[in-house]
Amino acid sequence: MELSAPAPLRPGVLRIIPLGGIGEIGRNMTVFELDGQIMILDCGVLFPEETQPGVDLILPDFGYLEDKLDRIVGAVLTHGHEDHIGGVPYLLAMRKDIPIIGSTLTLALVEAKLKEHRITPFSHTVKEGQIEQLGPFNLEFVAVNHSIPDSLAVIIRSTAGTVLATGDFKMDQLPLDGRLTDLRTFARIGEEGLDLFMVDSTNADVPGFTPLERDIGPVIENVISKTLGKVVVASFSSHVHRVQQVLDAAVANNRKVAFVGRSMVRNMGIAADLGYLKVPAGLIVDLNDIDEIPDNRIVLMSTGSQGEPMAVLSRIANRDHRIIIGEGDTVLMASSLIPGNENAVYRVIDGLIRLGANVVHKGNAKVHVSGHAAAGELLYCYNILKPRNVLPIHGEARHLHANAKLAIQTGVPAEQTLIVHDGAVIDLVDGVAKVVGQVPCDMLYVDGKTVGKITDEDLKDRRILAAEGFISIFAVIDPSTGKVVEGPEIRARAYAEDDHVFDDILPEIERALERAAVEGIRDTYTMQQVIRRTIGGWVAKAHRRKPMIIPIVVHSSRPA
């Protein structure tokens, strides 16, 4: 249902606007607005799909904030994954002194990213149990367990009520770093009274509880021990726990480890410097030195687990990387599939298998567990918190609906369980959360150094060029008579046909232009449309193709 623009915000009412992350997995960002001041929770990116050729990243829609930048009191980051921090450089490009608040590891990863953009942020480090005042927002930070260390949920207290935003979380009872999701604080908030629960939905449709991270370690060690050649492990470049398990398995099998991929080298260097990654002396070697090490004594820890075209693993599969994979080697893909990446990942797997590698992935071995709470864990939270209102976040439609169903089963009224889309405007007042309107919220594309100027129409043109090819037709007409004095001349690219196939249509184009001239048509634009209709209909009928057609008609110059 289409919603209208919201009424002006009344004093004392907390307005909540998700600008990304609802209805999709990525580009998470939510705006909280109260009494003229704004706080931002997370600012991530979404990675493009095959239907978005040429796009590097997709950002939240900053349009709502463009005329409100001076009212932003800070941006709070729940954890260091790209879908929660990747958009920060683009936000700070709009206003560089927005305070950035987050945990030690989260801010270290953000600051390294900002350094590449030549931005020095005003950052403030927080930890679990800490309370900070940010304008009208009183913030309490809560430890939660996730697939990256130092993750935080945030309790947002204000005169309008209390909100708990989980960020990404799960309830691993034996976490590798010993840092549990703080259910004691959850219970305390439940006793105090929680007005709105904004909760991770990613695994809401998965029954039971998410398996333990520590169950993965023995599987990784077993895979490495049975491999006669080199081992390549692909994972997210921020998955510190998984990398730690790989390092431990390498040590147990007397292998050295090399980090491969710029983000992997950067992030693991940060994690090691801060003490989140325990690296035995002499274990890590530089990629340039691996040729001196026997294949059965090396593990390569790389990026590219999502099939990204320019990431390390895709380049290895395409024989476009210095790492050569063949018989006796193993590639272990230690991550889950992000929805939409399936085809790209399976292409990489097929390419590696063709090269002779043994490919181990989640489909044939237990080499990854999710970082998100499954249905059993969410039910546990609902029963502890007893929230008055629920806003499922971080998920596609099926995840949001599954999460809402869980909330209703535990007693949350259906009308207070809000399933919304990006751009929805929710007002919280007197313990009631209500959808009151919609603000424009589109995809903001990053294409090289261009941000936001790529439209859906541009992407449609790119898809046509990739799938159907390109035909250009050039003709010169006499401006006084409308007759063709040169051409028409046809050129095609990526059409998989020789130019001579257009010999049959050239006379028809000439006749169409002659008829237009007889009708008194002289302007070049109308002549171009005549050409477009003529060749477009012929191509569709004769070749069942819909290429991009660019007709160019110019007037001949008349003597002075």
Q: Helices in 150-214 by DSSP H: which ranges?
A: 183-192
What pLDDT band is residue 462 in, cutting at 50, 70 and 90?
Answer: low
Choice among 147-156, 390-399, 412-421, 513-522 with the minimum mean pLDDT:
513-522
Identify the H or E element spanning 427.
strand 424-429
Cα–Cα distance for residue pair 322/317, rounded to 1 Å:
11
Residues 221 and 316 in one domain: yes
Give me the domain span that covers residue 342.
Answer: 213-360
Residues 112 and 171 in one domain: yes
Residue 44 in tokens: 């991530």
5: pLDDT strictly greater than 60 = yes
| Higher pLDDT pick, 184 / 361 | 184
Contact in structure between 372 and 202 (CB atoms under 8 Å): yes
Total domains in the chain come to: 3
Return the residue matching tokens 């996730």.
Answer: 146
- Is 6 part of a structural domain of the chain? no
pLDDT for residue 467: 59
pTM here?
0.82
Average pLDDT estimate for 111-136: 94
Question: What are the backbone angles phi and psi of residue 94, rounded to the nearest 5°?
Answer: -85, -35
331: pLDDT strictly greater than 60 = yes
Q: With pLDDT > 70 as the criterion, what percentage of the chain qualifies?
A: 90
558: pLDDT strictly greater than 70 = no
SS3 436: strand
Cα–Cα distance for residue pair 17/27, rounded to 1 Å:
14
CATH of the domain at 223: 3.40.50.10710
Residues 355 and 405 in one domain: no
Contact in structure between 392 and 25 (CB atoms under 8 Å): no
pLDDT for residue 531: 83
Residues 176 and 27 in one domain: yes
Query: What is each CA distance from 224 to 67, 244, 255, in whole angstroms?
Result: 54, 14, 9
What pLDDT band is residue 133 in, cutting at 50, 70 and 90?
Answer: very high
CATH of the domain at 533: 3.10.20.580
Final residue belonging to a domain, choices 433, 456, 479: 456
pLDDT for residue 309: 54
Final residue belonging to a domain, choices 360, 380, 400: 360
Query: What is each CA distance from 543 to 175, 186, 497, 509, 510, in whole angstroms?
Result: 59, 64, 10, 17, 20
Residue 398 in tokens: 């099926």
- Is 5 part of a structural domain of the chain? no
Residues 145 and 292 in one domain: no
HSE, side-chain direction, 13 A CA sphere, residue 84: 26
- Is 478 part of a structural domain of the chain? yes
Query: What is each CA distance from 9 to 13, 337, 429, 431, 477, in whole angstroms?
Result: 7, 40, 11, 17, 60
Q: Which of 174, 192, 125 has its CA nearest to residue 152? A: 125
Task: Report pLDDT digits (tens) over 363-401.
Answer: 777 778 889 999 999 999 999 999 999 999 999 999 999
pLDDT for residue 78: 98
- Is 7 part of a structural domain of the chain? no
Average pLDDT estimate for 160-178: 95
What mean pLDDT, rounded, does the chain reach? 88
What pLDDT band is residue 464 in, cutting at 50, 70 and 90?
Answer: low
Residues 452 and 481 in one domain: no
Contact in structure between 199 and 403 (CB atoms under 8 Å): yes
Residues 231 and 314 in one domain: yes
- Is 500 part of a structural domain of the chain? yes
Q: State how far Cα 307 lies from the chain centre.
A: 13
What pLDDT band is residue 560 in, cutting at 50, 70 and 90?
Answer: very low
Residues 392 and 528 in one domain: no
What pLDDT band is residue 468 in, cutting at 50, 70 and 90?
Answer: low
320: pLDDT strictly greater than 80 = yes
Choice among 65-79, 157-171, 287-301, 474-488 with the minimum mean pLDDT:
474-488
Contact in structure between 399 and 205 (CB atoms under 8 Å): yes
Residue 196: CB atoms within 10 Å: 26
Residues 36 and 79 in one domain: yes
- Is 9 part of a structural domain of the chain? no
What pLDDT band is residue 61 in, cutting at 50, 70 and 90?
Answer: very high
Residues 375 and 348 in one domain: no
- Is 4 part of a structural domain of the chain? no
| Higher pLDDT pick, 503 / 45 | 45
Average pLDDT estimate for 64-92: 95
Task: Report pLDDT digits (tens) over 264-306.
Answer: 999 999 999 999 999 999 999 999 999 999 999 999 998 865 6
Residues 202 and 255 in one domain: no
CATH of the domain at 27: 3.60.15.10
Cα–Cα distance for residue pair 129/185, rounded to 1 Å:
9
> Angle formed by the axes of helices 240-252 and 216-226, to 10°?
40
Residues 186 and 235 in one domain: no
What is the dihedral angle through the alpha carbons of 418, 420, 424, 428, rounded to the nearest 10 degrees? 10
- Is 463 part of a structural domain of the chain? no
Choice among 131-145, 358-372, 482-496 with the minimum mean pLDDT:
482-496
SS3 361: coil
Choice among 3-17, 128-142, 289-303, 473-487 with the minimum mean pLDDT:
473-487
Residue 319: CB atoms within 10 Å: 11
SS3 549: strand
Final residue belonging to a domain, choices 328, 360, 392: 360
Task: Report pLDDT digits (tens) over 176-192.
Answer: 899 999 999 999 999 99
Cα–Cα distance for residue pair 300/234, rounded to 1 Å:
8
Average pLDDT estimate for 239-247: 92
SS3 14: strand
